[in-house]
Amino acid sequence: MGVTDLIAVIVAVTAGSPRILTIANATALPSGSFEPGHRTLQAGLRSWVQRQTHQPLGYVEQLYTFADSDRGPDATARVISVSYLGLTREAPVTGQDAGWQSWYTYLPWEDHRTAPPAIIADLIAPQLETWANTPARRARAAITFGLHGHAWNEELVLQRYELLYETGLVPERHRRHTETSPQGREHPTLPGAFMALDHRRILATGIARLRTKIKYRPVFFELMPESFTLLQLQHTVEAIAGRRLHKQNFRRLIDSQNLVEETGAMACDTGGRPAKLFRFRGEVEAERAISGTKLPLLRN
């Protein structure tokens, strides 16, 4: 009865910057429709990314499926979209109109590595203040954006995007609702490039998933080069989480998990004292399953 779309959020981290793969001159995510020739959904996705960007893919996982009725041109031709999250290393070659962008280009309020972005205090908080005319709204705004003494929670990427969407602070809302009057009244919008359709929402979903996942699974495997220093690894995690980590504790954590081993070589281009180079231990694959429990279990 309808078409099925495949949409890819492909992430790499290059020089401490979190990057996503885009097409159409940075205005859309790699995507295409699921076709009879595709063996599986994931195979179809890989083929589209390959065709549009020539970027080799490693790890890929499913994100979310949606079918909002206002997506297609008319309500009968429903489009179902299946989105995926993928991790790779940035390859230099890409297709036409394809490229890599920092994801903070699209969601600039998400980068808290140096400090909370000025955009939050200057633009977002005041706008939310006027929107928040009930206690529930005030609480929601404070929690999602870490206002009024609430701590910043980097995982709430999607909730933040949706709140901005509801309040009309991101332009996607107006594009959709003012199609008949494209030159309607002015709305205050935020910095941050937008994307076609709901691709920016999908990006937010992908980032949220990755930020959550990195806390209980060592998903940085695919993002790192063959060998790396611990600081580089830390910078990769910081790029994803959008906040700084405590160096010594990060190291303790990493080696308590036995994820890496020394290569023996040193990196001498790091400015200060040369750092040991590490690589991931191959055997980790099997052990990855041993995830952490949190329930007060009974022994034996």
Partner DNA sequence: CCTCTAATACTCGAAAAGAGCATAAATAAT
Partner DNA sequence: ATTATTTATGCTCTTTTCGAGTATTAGAGG
Return d(Cα 11, Cα 203) in angstroms, integer. 10
CA 144-153-120 angle, to 5 degrees, is 55
Single-letter code of the amino acid located at 217: R
Residue 22 vs 232, nearer CB to a second copy: 232
Question: What residue ranges bind DNA (CB under 7 A)?
Answer: 229-231, 246-249, 251-253, 256, 268, 270-276, 293-299
Told to check if 286 binds a second copy by CB under 8 A, we report yes
Number of residues that bind a second copy (CB under 8 A): 57
Binding mask 98-137 for a second copy (x = CB under 8 A): --------------------------------------x-
Of the candidate residues 250, 263, 267, 276, the single one contacting a second copy (CB under 8 A): 250
Return d(Cα 129, Cα 121) in angstroms, integer. 11
Return d(Cα 279, Cα 265) in angstroms, integer. 11
Least distance in angstroms from the C-beta of 117 to DNA: 21
What is the DSSP code (8-state) at residue 93?
Answer: -
What is the DSSP code (8-state) at residue 33?
Answer: E
Return d(Cα 110, Cα 48) in angstroms, integer. 28
Determine phi and psi for 275, rounding to 5 degrees. Answer: -105, 150
CA 166-62-4 angle, to 5 degrees, is 75
Binding mask 152-191 for a second copy (x = CB under 8 A): -xxxx--x--------------------------------
Which residues in this chain contact a second copy in the complex, by CB under 8 A? 1-4, 34-36, 39-41, 62, 64-69, 75-76, 78, 80, 82, 136, 139-140, 143-144, 151, 153-156, 159, 214-216, 237, 241, 243-246, 249-250, 252-253, 286-287, 289-291, 293-298
